[in-house]
Amino acid sequence: RTVYVNGEYLPENEAKVSIFDRAFLMADGVYEVTSVLDGKLIDFDGHAVRLQRSLDELDMPSPCTMDELLEIHRELVKINEIEEGMVYLQVTRGAPDDRDFVFPDPETTPPTLVLFTQNKPGLADNPVAQKGIKVISIDDQRWGRRDIKTVQLLYPSMGKMMAKKAGADDAWLVEDGFVTEGTSNNAYFIKGNTIVTRGLSNDILHGITRAAVLRFAREAQMQVEERNFTIAEAQAADEAFITSASTFVMPVVEIDGAKIGAGVPGSNALRLREIYLDESRKAAI
Ligand code: PMP
């Protein structure tokens, strides 16, 4: 696989980042994952805008312009012949000469930019979507700025392990009695013609897929309520699902052992998945 590091395209085993890089020592980095369908980027602009926002919120310099970022994405997709898969991008505050909590001067310590592709044939036709996934609920013990897409993924990673040990596929995070989001996705339920998902704040990541799916849902004459909800309310719903750039719309059929609706993917969730895939493919660049 050819990867990109700080201006160079290299075979993955030749790519190097310093041990003093602040993402390695302090999780001082942000990232984006953009999916690829038909060799084209899905929702690239949304990811680029959110990346810029993450950088701004952390006072981190931009490594390049967003046009250059698009070029790098396209080049990697082309070189690695990705038809379906993802492009992972990470920007860190760079590698100062020594370990220090204080941010380094960006003049002497430029940001580190790394991109690589992940080839995932069958991403859109994922058979898991026809079966749905099971989730458990766990306490949300992440930091308070979940709107910034940082590489601090230890707790989400632990959450996926807790789910796996419990025989489930993923976990929904709960804070003060209300669901925030999934470990790496946004969380929803559907009751009647109404989709419910938590509103945007610093408590959750502002999903790019979330924005698109809610827009398509409104266009399909569904009601959308952005508000807090409990696990019990979701368990009593007709349908549930998650969204993310890599899973698109994925039905949830069980929460903490309780079947949602008939315990099979809901028709609205499956329809939203179809609409999302169709529309995103048309708008891909
Ligand atoms: N919430 C969290 C915590 C995530 O990690 C992700 C995916 N990275 C999402 C939501 C979904 O965001 P998107 O639709 O932009 O992939």
Task: Kindly give the confidence (pLDDT) of every residue in the chain, 285 residues in length, as a single tens digit, with 9 standing for 90 and above.
Answer: 999 999 999 999 999 999 999 999 999 999 999 999 999 999 999 999 999 999 999 999 999 999 999 999 999 999 999 999 999 999 999 999 999 999 999 999 999 999 999 999 999 999 999 999 999 999 999 999 999 999 999 999 999 999 999 999 999 999 999 999 999 999 999 999 999 999 999 999 999 999 999 999 999 999 999 999 999 999 999 999 999 999 999 999 999 999 999 999 999 999 999 999 999 999 999
Separation CA 7–CA 64 (nearest Å): 10
- Which one is the CATH code of 128-283: 3.20.10.10, 3.40.50.2300, 3.30.450.20, 3.40.50.300? 3.20.10.10
Residue 252 near residue 240 (C-beta atoms within 8 A) = yes
Ligand 1: nearest atom to the Cα of 43? 15
In the block, tokens 């980027």 appear at 41
- Domain spans, the chain: 2-119, 128-283
* Percent helix / strand / coil, the chain, rounded to 5: 30, 30, 40
Give the pTM: 0.97
- Exactly one of 16, 78, 120, 149 is catalytic; name it: 149
State pLDDT tens for residues 158-199.
Answer: 999 999 999 999 999 999 999 999 999 999 999 999 999 999
Tokens representing 49?
């805008």
**What's the confidence (pLDDT) of residue 74?**
98
| pLDDT score for 211 | 98
Q: From the CA of 185, how far away is ligand 1's center (Å)?
A: 4
Burial grade of 69 (CB within 10 A; 0-12, 13-18, 19 or more)? buried
pLDDT at 17: 98
Centre a 10 Å sphere on the Cβ of residue 56 and count the other Cβ atoms it contains.
11
CATH domain 2-119 topology:
D-amino Acid Aminotransferase; Chain A, domain 1 (3.30.470)
d(CA 141, ligand 1 centre) in Å: 17
Closest CA to 251 of 278, 280, 230, 272: 272
Distance of CA 69 to the CA centre of its chain: 18
What is the Cα–Cα distance from 136 to 195, expressed in whole angstroms? 20
pLDDT at 219: 97
Q: Is 24 helix (H, G, I), strand (E, B) or coil?
A: helix
**What pLDDT was estimated at residue 68?**
98
Closest Cα to atom 3 of ligand 1: 184
And the tokens for 241?
């699902």
Reply yes or no on whether 40 is catalytic.
no
Question: Is any ligand 1 atom within 6 A of the Cβ of residue 137?
Answer: no
Structure token digits, residue 39: 């060799």
